[in-house]
Amino acid sequence: MSFRLGLTGSIGMGKSTTAALFAEQGCAVWDADAAVHKLYGPGGAAVAPIGALWPEAISGGAVARPALKEIIAQDAGALPRIEAIVHPLVAQDRADFGRQSVAEITVFDIPLLYETGGTAQMDAVVCVFVAPEVQRARVLARGTMTEAQFAQILANQMPIAEKRRRADYEIETDTLSHARAQVQEVLRDIKVRLADA
Ligand SMILES: CC(C)(COP(=O)(O)OP(=O)(O)OC[C@H]1O[C@@H](n2cnc3c(N)ncnc32)[C@H](O)[C@@H]1O)[C@@H](O)C(=O)NCCC(=O)NCCS
Ligand SMILES: Nc1ncnc2c1ncn2[C@@H]1O[C@H](COP(=O)(O)OP(=O)(O)OP(=O)(O)O)[C@@H](O)[C@H]1O
């Protein structure tokens, strides 16, 4: 079976970028955010249950993220209800991918790995991190979230210090070349562990 490496961190700390570096080294990659995009898209399994609760969140047969963000901003109880719909569907997609993966190491990019108890399905966890002021600047530079939306998402995540403490490996995403070198180091270590097993 493929070695399952969970990849997590706080919002905008570089999970997707680091996942691409793992892919560059030959790992298979599964991406929780991409799975959510599929579930929210036309024909996706989350469209009907979300539309049943908030018809105004559906547009063209898909979940419209701007509308959903507006709903979350106005009703603090909305996000847990969305999560109750989305997380079991995401878990199913992840399990299907894991079963089919033939790569030596499969990376699971999961923002809420610790918050949703996903570590039980992982053989090891790597946490990406960067200074909070760099994180904030990067997230706001994308222009997809207001300061208030960023603060709300952040408040819904476990503090990064706690994630780093729990993880088996850490990768600082200050520069691309530094992150790439750390990815190579993590893979070397895992391969030694696999060879010893
Ligand atoms: C809140 C939504 C509408 C924001 O959409 P948007 O396209 O602006 O951002 P995107 O989905 O790329 O998320 C950006 C980052 O926010 C963080 N984040 C997203 N959802 C959550 C959440 N429920 N709790 C904490 N952090 C979250 C993650 O770090 C994620 O990588 C969207 O993330 C959503 O519908 N979330 C609920 C589903 C969920 O829990 N997804 C998380 C992965 S399973
Ligand atoms: N190692 C790095 N060096 C320089 N910039 C980086 C690095 N890693 C990520 N970034 C930049 O930080 C921003 C956020 O990165 P990325 O999208 O990978 O984060 P994420 O954790 O997947 O975000 P989200 O939680 O929103 O899904 C991007 O603009 C990206 O280019």
12 assigned to a ligand binding site: yes
Q: Tell me the whole-structure pTM to 2 decimals.
A: 0.92
Centroid of ligand 1 to alpha carbon of 189 (angstroms):
31
What span, in angstroms and rounded, lies between the C-alpha atoms of 162 and 104?
29
Describe the strand order of the beta sheet including 124-129 as a list of residue ranges: 28-31, 105-109, 3-8, 124-129, 169-172
Ligand 2: atom nearest CA of 180 is: 1
- How far from chain centre, in Å, is Cα 87? 12
Q: Hey, what are 191's tokens?
A: 């391969």
Burial class (CB in 10 A: 0-12, 13-18, 19+), 64: middle
Residue 76: its pLDDT value, please? Answer: 87
What span, in angstroms and rounded, lies between the C-alpha atoms of 139 and 2?
33
Residue 197: its pLDDT value, please? Answer: 81
| CATH number for the segment(s) 3-192 | 3.40.50.300
Q: Give the ligand whose atoms come closest to the C-alpha of residue 113.
A: 1
Q: Give the ligand whose atoms come closest to the C-alpha of residue 38.
A: 1
The complex scores an ipTM of 0.90
Residue 1: its pLDDT value, please? Answer: 82
Residue 69: its pLDDT value, please? Answer: 93
Which residue's CA is the nearest one to ligand 1's atom 26? 153
Ranges under pLDDT 70 in the chain: none
